[in-house]
Structure 1
């Protein structure tokens, strides 16, 4: 198989972003290219055109590759539900929930079969594959049954580039140490080193490049500068770093739930005159113009966490002083009066129920089967706004209103009325992820907050997502030995 695998010396070294950039570079040169990550652990997911669920990073990488995202690009997705258990999504559909030990014991062989099937499908349909590993390939306690690094590079028979993050320090030790812990056959598969997140004058690192090449006998195929980009992140590891430097006239407090999912719902605010503060304590709400309750993989667990910390009282204070609140997916469910987990699909404990925050007069019931579907429509006529809108649903629960006069938020193309729109838009609840990626709606919502503060209204700011991929690829290409990387890609496995 023609391709390459990007592995890292640790988590959060930039593997996902590098795969995204390489997919766009290859697509710009006319190659039919696909991303691939055999097993992804993230609550940040993406709904494919056929209503299946994969890791959001692979959906973004597919967009960069100018191809339609599919389950073949991420056959296994693990979504943590607690410290010990994760839901296993296999080929886009919920398969089971396992503990870490049970997953390794009971699912490993099926995992290998699933990955092999996906790789064969992609090989038949694409010219080249750009693969992403996870964490480090030398987690010695896990290597015997790993499904995501060197074992998968061997299955696909592709070469590997090793990425190290110089921004976190210790780059020389991390590169040499990682290579030293690889088996001889694995080490032969590594064909080059990438240094990522470099700040400052590249000439000051020329001695470092020579040292790495002398001690590893491998070429440094790129020293990538630290970039401020607008490509969505894979997970929440670098969450605060992506938002803390941005200050604006509108203050949004987003509650950072323990089992936060699809945090990328709020990333479009980076393009606005907006401060986004991720908070974990009620006192941090302060005088925020609006509070956002985002999605969660474990609604009742995170609801109890909110109440234990006193967020329920502070949210009511926000409402009493005329502030705004919006709940998305699990956040919407928390705003209702009560939540019922008859089948244990949310908590793992059948029959468990919880009292919600009581902001929206409704009852949420969790189902056995998950809803994953793309959504298209417009704002409901009751909002007195005529705005087209699109996004996607990923959730277990259904929410039923107990007052017939409640106003829906959306009118969908399939005929459904969806969500809640109350107090002239100061309270909104919806199952729609990607809501704020709709430029016109985002601008309308923010302008209502601006108007309340006596600020000037602003025009739409288009995100131009496709240009973002080109900007990233074009910024990094001069810092890559791109011809050598392509030569490595099309040479196959270890020589």
Structure 2
């Protein structure tokens, strides 16, 4: 199997997007290709068909490669649950929570899992397109590195370095990063890609010539700034929306550990829906619907929600007839209490128990457990007499029980012991579910919007799967046009033996 790694001079340089674009380009060229990210740190994740968990970016890249997501595409996933710690997920399954110092010592074991996945993929695919993490020049993280050059050296693969010119200082980023690498690592870098350029390319040409002459490595392309490119975010929250004719207003409190915010992309991209993330220090003002999103640390985020005064905003919203939707962790927050007997997320205690009082808007409680539910499901959504098929996925620690769940939001589940999910309040103002991906299909969005306001008037609905395909094809076309694809394919095929030389 041929392997090519895309590394960046910084986080958010465009690595995820470029790997996705290249996956689609190579598939179109008849190459059986797979994506790979040795180590990902992100709260946006996806459930694979075999019941594992990987980073959302690798699921997107798998779609770009026209294959089903699998755990081997992202063997190590870190989901931060504090400023210094994270849940460590190996081959799709949660191993434990680790502090940063402990994980640093664990990296030698983690590398074994990375190599194991790499070797399995080598038996099946012609090519592997690998995404690095952060920057390879982070000196403090170089020891036992598995995310960037440590992996590249282990599997002996070439590297292309990507920099974001829109940030400024692109030549310093590229030359400085190269300078901080070891001699063998520098030799692995076979060329550069400059990302997010806007302006007259002729004004950049002298800089490109200097870069090639100074480093002896080719510039393999300059990708333009793609306005309105909307693909599943790896972690950063896309808060912008393009509202042309607002017919319904939705507010989402921006929790510190918000997870799987891609749940709301179909709503955010809808020009007739005004979706706003409410930031720290802001008030949840008048709207039609408040969505309480998923959370990686539901107890800490619930405490944060209360500290912001948002509980009062939510109660006022309900008094004026507004609607509430809770998803996953947001579902758990709506109950009477969340118990954490094993200290999975917190050491907070109330009345001698490891627990926190919920928003008390429904009669149920949740107990966090050491095991995590990871499954893809289908079912039947029913709201105000309207029904439609729904499919999504569950990623959560904890089980919820109580009388409120006797009136489920979703029934006829394809998996699970209870056959139903979530609840609908007796006054019909509050609904909740564990299912992520609820709005990925327009039929579900129609039913939910009809529940929020029967006279909402929204005519446009976004099928996120169709939208994603269009965006991936657009991205591939841009890569094909602006990158030197023949040279990139040659680098992939030749490996580290490729001789670097400047190309004007």
Both structures adopt the same fold (TM-score exceeding 0.5): yes
Instruction: State the 1:421 CA deviation.
Output: 2.0
Distance 1:318 1:494, change over 3 A: farther
- TM (norm. structure 2) is 0.93
Which stretch of structure 1 is more off in the superposition, 221-230 or 181-190? 221-230
- Partner Cα distance (1:136, 1:147) in 2: 12
- Residue of structure 2 equivalent to 1:27: 27
User: Secondary structure, in 3 states, of the residue corresponding to 1:31?
Assistant: coil
- Residue of structure 2 equivalent to 1:127: 126
Equivalent residues of 1:451, 1:457 under 8 A apart: no
- Residue of structure 1 equivalent to 2:202: 203
Which stretch of structure 1 is more off in the superposition, 283-292 or 49-58? 283-292
Q: Could you list the per-position Cα deviations for residues 10-47 of structure 1 after superposition, in whole angstroms to 9, with x for gaps in the alignment?
A: 00111001000001111111111110000101111110
- Residue of structure 2 equivalent to 1:297: 296
User: Secondary structure, in 3 states, of the residue corresponding to 1:344?
Assistant: coil
Equivalent residues of 2:57, 2:233 under 8 A apart: yes
- Partner Cα distance (2:384, 2:397) in 1: 26
Matched, 1:360 2:371: no
Which stretch of structure 1 is more off in the superposition, 227-236 or 480-489? 227-236
- Residue of structure 2 equivalent to 1:480: 483
Instruction: State the 1:283 CA deviation.
Output: 4.2
Which stretch of structure 1 is more off in the superposition, 273-282 or 115-124? 273-282
Aligned residues: 488
Matched, 1:443 2:465: no
Q: Could you list the per-position Cα deviations for residues 141-188 of structure 1 after superposition, in whole angstroms to 9, with x for gaps in the alignment?
A: 110121100011112221111000011111111111111111111000
Instruction: State the 1:198 CA deviation.
Output: 1.0
What pairs with 1:11-410 in structure 2 (closer than 5 Å)?
Answer: 11-105=11-105, 107-227=106-226, 228-236=228-236, 239-240=238-239, 243-246=240-243, 248-249=245-246, 250-272=248-270, 273-281=272-280, 283-347=282-346, 351-380=353-382, 383-403=384-404, 406-410=407-411
Equivalent residues of 1:224, 1:476 under 8 A apart: yes
- Partner Cα distance (2:3, 2:35) in 1: 10
- Partner Cα distance (1:104, 1:450) in 2: 51
Equivalent residues of 1:188, 1:494 under 8 A apart: no
Computed over aligned residues only, the root mean square deviation of the Cα atoms, in angstroms, reads 1.9
Instruction: State the 1:346 CA deviation.
Output: 2.8
Instruction: State the 1:246 CA deviation.
Output: 4.6
Instruction: State the 1:348 CA deviation.
Output: 5.8
User: Secondary structure, in 3 states, of the residue corresponding to 2:367?
Assistant: strand
Distance 1:290 1:22, change over 3 A: same
User: Secondary structure, in 3 states, of the residue corresponding to 2:202?
Assistant: helix
Matched, 1:456 2:454: no
- Residue of structure 1 equivalent to 2:413: 412
- Partner Cα distance (2:169, 2:242) in 1: 25
Q: Could you list the per-position Cα deviations for residues 347-378 of structure 1 after superposition, in whole angstroms to 9, with x for gaps in the alignment?
A: 26794101101122211111121100001111
Which stretch of structure 1 is more off in the superposition, 271-280 or 33-42? 271-280
Equivalent residues of 1:31, 1:127 under 8 A apart: yes
- Residue of structure 1 equivalent to 2:502: none
Instruction: State the 1:3 CA deviation.
Output: 2.4
Which stretch of structure 1 is more off in the superposition, 460-469 or 394-403? 460-469
- Residue of structure 1 equivalent to 2:501: none
Equivalent residues of 1:373, 1:392 under 8 A apart: yes
Structure 1 residue runs of 5 or longer lacking an equivalent are: none
Distance 1:420 1:405, change over 3 A: closer
- Partner Cα distance (1:305, 1:270) in 2: 24
- Partner Cα distance (2:445, 2:414) in 1: 20
Q: Could you list the per-position Cα deviations for residues 209-236 of structure 1 after superposition, in whole angstroms to 9, with x for gaps in the alignment?
A: 2122122211111111111222101002
